[in-house]
Structure 1
């Protein structure tokens, strides 16, 4: 058992756990460099990755900003960078995920890098991950959010709504992205982390983050996991090949 009883109790109560340090200094540096190379176009696989740009870029702004700092999100970077896939398989992370998810049989669902650049990093609206991930049942995935820079309230750290996961899928308003309705932001908990630290959250936990107007970047690397006996509810022809990261697979499951 890796987690203390109080940590597991807090996760069951809140739907998230602020864990702390998970990376060595070398692991942190290597991941920072890999993410920056992918975002800047300098990585050998940069042309293969899916990225979303900051909203200001779409409005024709930030033309003087370097490419790296125009990127808002990198989608599934583990598919194109071995160091990130290795991070997703970090035994220290998987030990914790297995305790939170309730099984040793785990598949990797998804990875993403959230860049939150200095001076113009934009808001991530209040949402639940499972409001997006509707093809997976049950909606009980666990994500590890690893800080690649210090994450503070000033530079837009993630904020979690305690206990919100117990209410199922909330109503969401769809604009460019989903927006959870009825959020009392006064009850949100800021997830303040030092670079190399991490937090864990349930896929039904309502969370979001504010803009970054500081001179300090706030990169985060998210690895999301599901039980390997989860069901795929989408079109079977379009089911991705989810990698098994621990334990065993099950027939007719994800």
Structure 2
């Protein structure tokens, strides 16, 4: 079980226990139920519907020609997305896992709409982060369910323990970075496939080398999600690969920041 923090602010909070940390490193991922409230993710969805304009949305195709839309940020700002990615409910727990200071590497909204959201092929996030100047795999991501995620609408699939393989070579196909077929064919025989079904506000933290994918969304329900990715400060890129530079110090926001931001918008 997750340990409750001794001091709870305006929203509930859970610190990862020693057993949680052990499970994470054994399996390559950890699900945290209700890390954020329904009210908080509803606010995120409401704002995203208004301010994610089509000209800023990236569209990626899968091998069947289905499309998935996403918006990506290379740095956190003082907006609703930053209130999630910089939130101590995530950042403190990621630092517990790594045992050292971290910063936000990137963030994105995945807009997997009903009847059109394309599949993501098998890949590791570190499969391409490595090529961006991050020498070590001390990197992970936290995906927050904005809508309910299940098999019907293309929830995330993982190969439990597959992060132990280490980095696999990847190729660029239809705008997606896809893991080597030969390695994937062997990995699916060796590691257990698990569908990560989540309710709005649930979070999944997963290792940068964990193999994961998702099916197309052929249901009548959207599956939107927010993903923040983290790197250890000691592993910041050794070369400049993005416009703003290699690294920006993490400025955490308190656990109540999302609700505070909501009040500021309403005021």
Scaled to the shorter chain, the TM-score interval is 0.7 to 0.9
| 1:130 and 2:126 matched | yes
Counterpart check, 1:97 vs 2:110: no
Aligned in 2, Cα 1:241/1:102: closer, same or farther, shift over 3 Å?
same
Is 1:164 the equivalent of 2:170? Answer: no
Which of 188, 201, 206 pairs up with 2:206? 201
1:190 aligns with 2:195: yes
Q: Does 1:223 align with 2:220?
A: no
What is the TM-score when the length of structure 1 is the normalising length?
A: 0.80
Q: Which consecutive segments of 4 or more residues in structure 1 shift more than 3 A?
A: 77-81, 235-239
- CA separation of 1:14/1:100 partners in 2, compared to 1, >3 Å: closer, same or farther? same
State the shift of 1:146 in Å: 0.3
Q: Pick from 172, 175, 187: which aligns with 1:174?
A: 172
Q: Distance in 2 between matches of 1:92 and 1:240?
A: 26
Is this contact kept in 2: 1:21–1:198, CA < 8 A?
yes
- The residue aligned with 1:66 is none
Alignment of 1:24 onto 2:21:
no
Cα distance change of structure 1 residues 149 and 78 upon mapping to structure 2, 3 Å threshold = farther
Q: Distance in 1 between the 2:242 and 2:48 partners? A: 31
Instruction: Name the SS for the 1:222 alignment partner.
Output: strand
* 1:1-254 equivalences in 2 (<5 Å): 2-39=15-52, 41=53, 49=56, 51-53=57-59, 55=61, 72-76=69-73, 82-103=79-100, 105-134=101-130, 135-176=133-174, 177-180=176-179, 181=181, 182-183=183-184, 184-185=187-188, 187-235=192-240, 240=245, 242-245=247-250
Superposition TM-score, scaled by structure 2 size = 0.77
The whole-number CA distance in structure 1 between the counterparts of 2:138 and 2:31 is 18
In the alignment, structure 1 segments of 5+ residues that lack a partner are: 62-69, 248-254
Q: Which moved more, 1:86-95 or 1:179-188?
A: 179-188
Relative to structure 1, the CA distance from residue 235 to residue 123 in structure 2 (aligned partners, 3 Å threshold; closer, same or farther) is same
Unmatched segments (≥5 aa) in structure 2: 4-14, 253-267
CA RMSD of aligned residues (A): 2.6
- State the match for 1:252 in structure 2: none
Distance (Å, rounded) in 2 between the aligned partners of 1:18 and 1:153:
16
**What SS class does the counterpart of residue 194 from structure 1 fall into?**
coil
